[in-house]
A and B are shown apart, each in its own frame.
Chain A
Amino acid sequence: MSPIMYERLWEAFLDTLVMVGASGLIALVAGIPLAVLLVLTSPGGVLEAPRFNRIAGGIVNAFRATPFIVLLVALIPLTRLITGTTIGIWAAVVPLSISATPFFARIAEVSLREVEHGLIEAAQAMGCRRWHIVRHVLLPEALPGIIGGFTITLVSMIGASAMAGAVGAGGLGDLAIRYGYQRFDTTVMIAVIVVLIALVSLVQFAGDWWVRRLRAR
């Protein structure tokens, strides 16, 4: 590979990091409250609201059902509204985070739901308000599961970001398509794959390590 290719690879790597990092952060910040709301409002939850729960669940499912490449195109008007452009990294961050948030929310919801009901009852019995239950019981007790779920989300976002080339956002996937596939440059293809494998392994390893540390208590 030529020095210029190394530079392209490095830039593509950074683009992927920024895209996945930014939308991962958004998914985290938006997904946890969404998951908490879904759990609290579900039947038997401490803030029971069946109608809200059904509507919110429906919206989440709708986004989860739409393939990312379709979402990427369908969300173009919204992307333009938010970022002022429809091409580039930041244009990819919008659909990426909108696709990752419901995905992550559902995974976090499962972890929150698995918190033993007895703990919530104990918290109520000691005079905790709903907010205290979320803050001191649900979130800390579900934390290992949430972190594990976020790891899965990040990994699948790294995969999804490969399609960001469709809106000219660059990134590793885009590089592999343009050079590896369209120009038959197998070396670049392999280099991208190796970098992706390393990146995914690193994310997965870090997530697993953190979960293990929390579970060891």
Chain B
Amino acid sequence: MSAIDLTLGAKSYFVSPQAAAQRLPQAAPAGSTEPAHPAAGSVRFEGVGKTYHSSAGPVAALSGIELEIPAGSIFGIIGRSGAGKSSLLRTINRLERPTEGRVRVDGEDIAELDENGLVALRRRIGMIFQHFNLLSAKTVFDNVALPLRVAGVRESQVRQRVNELLELVGLNGKENTYPGRLSGGQKQRVGIARALVHHPEILLCDEATSALDPETTQSILALLRDINRQLGLTVVLITHEMGVIREICDQVLVLEQGQIAETGPVWAVFGEPRHDATRALLRPLEHDLPQDLLQRLLQQAPISGPYQRVLELVFTGQGRIEPDLDRIASLLGSRVRLLHGGVDRIQGHTHGRLLIATGPQGPAATELVQQQLCHHAKELGYVADHV
């Protein structure tokens, strides 16, 4: 069975009826002023802040975080290192306690939980790590079985459940192997199996693919996406790679110096980044003007000799505007050559940038926007002769 083909594993995975019933949101008591309890797997941050006290004085790792993570979504948190991503993620299962504000999981303020409540909460929230954090002294089977064993689950059930999960992540046959003998991708699969063993409603991913090569990253991301779809659990992941966000996330939060820089659907944030931090993070994925063109670009049209205009067309993903090359060419009325650029389709929205060269005559760049052929357009300059 391929690692990401979940049909077999998922059949038995779809939670026993009792377990499902336990997870159903309780109805708010009649006449209560409390909002109705949201669906299982939602997280709400209310003015969350975290201040460390270092020898150099207080350091604010997080401040004023107001955020709602909808149940069942894949929510990405991105930021440069030191932006507070890890701290924010760790407040969800109280590995870190905020110094201000509240974190609510399914409407419940987790700061008030006693030890038993906290253990129960953590069994509803799975977590995977950048460095996998598998126990080297235990086999793959025993690593995955550990969360069940410490919860006092009967051994026959443990065996059944662990086998289901190893099948789900495509590791059957590796039960008796020690983690030291596995590749990075396999270790992360063990980590995922271990995180899912209690039928969690939320999966926290702490830079889960940062230690993996690009190919393995893709397969782990595909596995996470399939788990999200098949099991309907909420995935909250932090990363410093925009590619990961683009690949699987529904919503993204850009964190900068412990504060929210911007947040929204991935296509919107990628299509029209509003914050410098976002733009900086997106730069590796962008199609900037190539060096050779940049050097030949003139700000004024040359007085003599043939020249061409270089236009930049931006697609933000808003509405239904997509690069319609035929209409662009006929509007510009002369030869149109595509110099450079690229578009991505994210969640059904096309965004990207195209650089084109076209004849000196023809309508201004703004005409393209008016005709709804792109979202933003400008003349970058002129180049003599052929580009």
Contact = CB atoms under 8 A, between A and B. Distances in A.
* A119, A123, A125, most chain B CB atoms within 10 A: A125
A132 B127 contact: no
Interface stretch (A52-60, A135-143, A148-156, A195-203): A135-143
Contacts, number: 68
B133 A141 contact: no
A136 B146 contact: yes
B122 interface: yes
Nearest to A125: B127
Nearest to B204: A125
A61 interface: no
Interface in B106-123: 115, 119-120, 122-123
Interface of B is mostly: mixed
Interface of A is mostly: helix
Contacts of B149: 136
Contact of A118 (B133, B138, B194): B133
A214 B138 CA distance: 11
A116 B179 CA distance: 15
A127 to B, nearest CB: 4
A134 to B, nearest CB: 12
Contacts of A128: 119, 146-147, 150
Nearest to A116: B133
B307 interface: no
B364 to A, nearest CB: 58
Contact of A129 (B115, B126, B137, B204): B115
A141 B131 contact: no
A132 to B, nearest CB: 4
Interface residues of A, number: 20
Contacts of A122: 127, 129, 133-134
A137 B115 CA distance: 19
B200 to A, nearest CB: 10
B135 A127 contact: no
Interface residues of B, number: 30
A129 B114 CA distance: 12
Given A126-B194, A127-B150, A140-B138, A121 B133 contact: yes
A136 B131 contact: no
Contacts of B146: 123, 126, 128, 136
A127 B178 contact: no
Interface in B137-188: 137-138, 146-147, 149-151, 178, 180-181
B136 A129 contact: no
B250 to A, nearest CB: 23
A183 interface: no
A136 B178 contact: no
A137 B93 CA distance: 20
Contact of B135 (A121, A124, A125, A141): A141
B27 interface: no
B198 interface: yes
A143 B137 contact: yes
Q: Which 5 A-B pairs have the closest CB atoms?
A: A122-B133, A140-B137, A217-B178, A126-B147, A125-B127
